[in-house]
Amino acid sequence: MKKILVITNNDSVWLKPAWAKVINSEYKQFEFNLITLPDKKIKNMNPAVYYFRSFGLKNFLSLAIFSIVRNIKFYRTNKKTFNKEISLNLNFFDIDAIRNKIIDFKPDMVFITCSYIIPKELLKVNENISWFNKHASLLPHGKGVFPYIYNKINGFEQGISFHYVLESIDTGDIVYFERINLKRTMVDFYKEIYDNFDKYFMEFYKNLKRNVREKQYEPGSYYSYPDKNILKKFYKAGGKIITMKDIFSE
């Protein structure tokens, strides 16, 4: 049985339900341990303040309602899955605690879905352990955060990539990718990814067992948190953040 350590943000809307689907799925070939981390500040702001200032009142309120609905929907599943037996909840990015968890649990792989850059000292704790990440874009395009927004502006295809983790962000060899097209909104796009994360994870693992590993030969593009000016370009390109349909479809 493969041992997998997951390091993820303490996100009850997207990430925890996604991992709960993997852990509670019919695939019983993995033993999981989890580390949850708090959200980082965005441009020295609380994330809620950033969303309000950048996305505007209407989108902010719609996202808030959507988050409440998702929190209620997945409350019991998240609580049951992220229990004290397998989950370590940290109040900050505690390198020593993470290192000790790696040493004690002895995972075959570490999978990160967090907003933190993993330092070299953790990547080198045990060089026999492979580190992986999921990125919501077809790498090498759309490295960094909010790739959906920048890919929409640039007219690139949307998709998902699973890749090895290196010190530099989103640059590791790709194990699995899949195109995801024709989604109405950014929220609809992320619902596709996270509500089907168990399916995507197993496709990644199949490729991993087949030793699929493709280098990113192009430098691609890297983006940071969008501001109002970037979002104006996104809207002009036909992009939408969220609609009421996204909320009611929950």
Domain coordinates of the chain in residue numbers? 2-248
Closest CA to 197 of 1, 8, 36, 2: 8
Which amino acid belongs to residue 229?
N
d(CA 45, CA 231): 18
Stretch (H or E) spanning 195: helix 186-195
Q: Does 210 score more than 90 pLDDT?
A: yes
Each residue of 103-162: pLDDT tens digit?
999 999 999 999 999 999 999 999 899 999 999 999 999 999 999 999 999 999 999 999
The model's pTM? 0.94
Whether the Cβ atoms of residue 40 and residue 32 lie closer than 8 Å to each other: no
Per-residue model confidence as pLDDT tens digits over 47-96: 999 999 999 999 999 999 999 999 999 999 999 999 999 999 999 999 99
Domain covering 2-248 in this structure, CATH number: 3.40.50.170
Check: CB of residue 88 under 8 Å from CB of residue 101.
yes
**pLDDT at res. 250:** 87
* Residue 165, H or E segment: none
- DSSP letter, residue 249: T
pLDDT band at 1 (very low <50, low <70, confident <90, very high): confident
Q: What counts of helices (H) and strands (E) characterise the chain?
A: 9, 9
Tokens describing residue 224:
């940071």
3-state SS class at 191: helix
Alpha helices in the chain, H assignment, sequence order: 15-23, 47-81, 95-105, 120-123, 147-154, 186-195, 197-209, 228-236, 244-248
What lies within 8 Å, CB to CB, of 207 at 6+ separation is 162, 175, 176
Q: Scan for tokens 């060899």, then name that residue.
A: 173
Give the pLDDT confidence score for residue 212 in this predicted structure. Answer: 96
Averaged confidence pLDDT in the chain: 94
pLDDT band at residue 168 using 50, 70 and 90 as cut-offs: confident
Q: By the 8 A CB rule, do 4 and 108 touch?
A: yes
Q: Which residues of 23-53 are buried (b: 16+ CB within 10 A; e: fewer)?
A: beeeeeebebbbbbbbeeebeeeeeeebbbe
Q: Please tell me the distance from the alpha carbon of residue 8 to that of residue 123, in angstroms, as a whole number.
A: 16
